[in-house]
Amino acid sequence: MEATTRQFTGNARQALKNDNLRAALDKLSHGFPYKRLEAAARLPEFEALRDQSRDIKAHVLENLDFYLQQFESKVIEQGGQVHWAKDAAEARDIILAICQEAGAETVTKSKSMIGEEIAINGHLEANGVRPVETDLGEYIIQLRKEPPSHLIAPAIHLSMDQVADTFKDKHREFAADRPLDQPRELLEEARTMLRREFLAADVGLTGANLLIAETGSIALVTNEGNADLTLTLPNTHIAIASIEKAVPTLEDATTILRVLARSATGQELSVYTTFVSGPKRPDDMDGPENFHVVLLDNGRTQMLGSEFHDMLRCIRCGACLNSCPVYGAIGGHAYGWVYSGPMGSVLMPGILGLEQTGDLPNASTLCGTCESVCPMRIPLPAMLRRWREQQHARRLTSTKSRMMLKLWAMLARRPGLYRAVMGLGVGFMRALAGGRGSLKSLPFAGGWTAVRDLPAPEGKTFTALWKERRK
């Protein structure tokens, strides 16, 4: 998908005007974060498990080559194939080639952020293969040709009415006047449509939440069961995963799974947690004959060992989005590409380049909520600051703001001058306010007074008054 990260400010402005989105985001911020807290409260070991999960992933990253090769050899041992892709284009080609070899007309897909990252759907379509998203939310946005707006709730920005309109528009075989004003009716219709696709698909394409080196298994979690149908019914199963998804053992996977759903939705565990190892065994009653894993780099090895190394611990739970005040204000689309929220603002400059994503590291209050909820204890605010440092160092910030900052910093290190200048400024503001307690507007403070009054200063600075009164 075309990135619109450069238009962040405009995107955000649009988003702020969208009432449907606002209602959805209000619901979100009153939902998942509280459920997460309840789930955490129910599990006394939750914090300890977060520590261990962080340590497991940190250990994997330090030995990523080893674990990926172990994983690979176990997959091959079980009759599966492993493909390595340096970038999105290569991953797309690999997947298309597998589909073509399978003679695929239809590919069912279970939600995969990597699939979004490499924009696989467009590529398949362009080459005559029809991809069908099967996660309900993904299905809806696929019909609408929209990108996901949340890691785990891709259609969260839509109202029921919007979904109903989409279904009426795209599902022409049903009576035009059928009732579609209940979520249940919409779900049933999607279920009917997708059931056919599941049964008819030639290839199933899934992501992978974890790659388990010990056994060459992938772990997948869903609530709908769509991944399981995707990986059971067609004759070929392709799993696509970025390289940092590796974990050593089944036990390590288990520990991470204990924090994943709790952090994401406040569930103890997702409904379906499935460990897949290789293709159908000779005696199995069902399952695909072919099993492929595509391992994607796409910038990960550049983050590895860099100051953004820790970001590779991310398990895409979405907790940082759910509790982020900025995400809660503007939703996912405003960020302009596949990812969003704090994790997206750290990740996307690494994938798309800082030139394309200048606003993302800055559009954060650095309130720290994301880090406090991140199951992998990723220091997201510190990494946003790292990007700001790079912007500053590479002179990607505006000349005006750099000059203002320089001037201010120069003053801040010269207390005498600072006090003289600030004293004047404060006196000026006080005079401007007159007897009123706040200012409605102020030259050079348009950013502040655009949306709020500026409480007027008392009149003299504390340091000046202290000198008068105490010395």
Partner 1 sequence: MSAGPAKKTRSVSSRDQVLSAIRGALGREGADGQNRPDLMARLDNPVPNRVPDRGRLDGPARIDLFQAEAERVSADVARVAGLDAVPGAIAAYLGENGLPTALKVTPDAAIGDVPWAQQAALSVEFGATDGSDPVGVTGAYLGVAETGTVVLLSGETRPNSLNYLPDTHVVVIRADQIIGAYEEVWAQLRHDGGGLPRIVNWITGPSRSADIEQTLMLGAHGPRNLFIVIVGADDGKGIVMADDGTIVTADEGTRVGDAHG
Partner 2 sequence: MIQQAPHVGLFATCLVDLMRPTVGFAAAKLLEDAGCRVDVPMDQTCCGQPAYNSGDTGEARAIAKHVIAAFEGFDYVVAPSGSCAGTLRVHYPQLLKDDAAWAARAEALAQKTHELFSFLTDVLNWMGGEARYDATATYHDSCSGLRELGIKQQPRTLLAGVEGLELKESREAEACCGFGGLFCVKYPDISERIVDVKTADLEATGADTLLGGDLGCLMNIAGRLKRQGSAVKVRHAAEVLAGMTGEVPPLGEGKNDGAED
Residues that bind ligand SF4 (CB under 6 A): 151, 314-320, 343, 373-376, 378, 380
Kindly state the smallest distance separating residue 33's Cβ from ligand SF4, in Å.
Answer: 11
* 432 class by beta-carbon count within 10 Å (0-12 exposed, 13-18 middle, 19+ buried): middle
Q: Is 333 in the site for partner 1 (CB under 8 A)?
A: no
Q: Which of 112, 142, 274, 364 binds partner 1 (CB under 8 A)?
A: 274
Rama region for 358: left / alpha / beta (φ>0; ψ in -120 to 50; rest): alpha
> Which CB sits closer to ligand SF4, 216 or 318?
318
Q: Which of 115, 117, 75, 79 is nearest to 99 (CA)?
A: 115
> Which CB sits closer to partner 1, 78 or 362?
78
Q: Where are the alpha helices (DSSP H) in 341-398?
A: 341-352, 369-373, 380-393
Kindly state the smallest distance separating residue 119's Cβ from ligand SF4, in Å.
Answer: 21
> Which CB sits closer to ligand SF4, 336 or 342?
342
Kindly state the smallest distance separating residue 320's Cβ from partner 2, in Å.
Answer: 13
Chosen from partner 1, partner 2, ligand SF4, none, partner binding at 366 (C-beta under 5 to 8 Å by type): partner 2
Q: Is 269 in the site for partner 1 (CB under 8 A)?
A: yes
> Which CB sits closer to partner 2, 278 or 381?
381
Kindly state the smallest distance separating residue 430's Cβ from partner 2, in Å.
Answer: 10
Chosen from partner 2, ligand SF4, partner 1, none, partner binding at 118 (C-beta under 5 to 8 Å by type): none
Q: Is 114 in the site for partner 1 (CB under 8 A)?
A: no
Task: Give CA separation, 7 vs 25, 364, 385, 387, in Å.
Answer: 21, 16, 21, 18
Q: Is 86 in the site for partner 1 (CB under 8 A)?
A: yes
> Which CB sits closer to partner 2, 4 or 277?
4
Q: Where are the alpha helices (DSSP H) in 146-295?
A: 160-170, 183-200, 226-232, 250-264
Chosen from partner 2, partner 1, ligand SF4, none, partner binding at 121 (C-beta under 5 to 8 Å by type): none
> Which CB sits closer to partner 1, 136 or 343?
136
Q: Which of 58, 113, 119, 160 binds partner 1 (CB under 8 A)?
A: 160
Chosen from partner 2, partner 1, ligand SF4, none, partner binding at 63 (C-beta under 5 to 8 Å by type): partner 1
- The token pair at 37 is 């807290």
Kindly state the smallest distance separating residue 393's Cβ from ligand SF4, in Å.
Answer: 24
Site for partner 1 in 14-33 (CB under 8 A): 24, 27-28, 31
Q: Is 156 in the site for partner 1 (CB under 8 A)?
A: yes
Q: Is 113 in the site for partner 1 (CB under 8 A)?
A: no
Kindly state the smallest distance separating residue 436's Cβ from partner 1, in Å.
Answer: 44
DSSP one-letter string for 431-468: HHHTT-SEES--TT-HHHHTTS-EEPP-SS-HHHHHHH
CA 125/CA 388 separation, integer angstroms: 38
Q: How far is CA 417 from the centre of its chain?
A: 46
Residue 106 DSSP code: E
CA 228/CA 321 separation, integer angstroms: 26
Kindly state the smallest distance separating residue 350's Cβ from ligand SF4, in Å.
Answer: 13
**Mask of contacts with partner 1, 178-217, x by CB under 8 A?**
-----xx-xx---x--xx--xx-------------xxx-x
Cross-strand partners of 205: 109, 238
User: Where do we find the tokens 């994938």?
Assistant: 351
CA 229/CA 443 separation, integer angstroms: 62
Cβ-contact 221, 228 below 8 angstroms: no
CA 410/CA 76 separation, integer angstroms: 62
Kindly state the smallest distance separating residue 197's Cβ from ligand SF4, in Å.
Answer: 29
Chosen from partner 1, partner 2, ligand SF4, none, partner binding at 418 (C-beta under 5 to 8 Å by type): partner 2
Q: Is 121 in the site for partner 1 (CB under 8 A)?
A: no
CA 142/CA 126 separation, integer angstroms: 15
- The token pair at 131 is 């991809």
Q: Please tell me whether residue 217 adopts helix, strand or coil conformation.
A: strand
Chosen from partner 1, partner 2, ligand SF4, none, partner binding at 367 (C-beta under 5 to 8 Å by type): partner 2
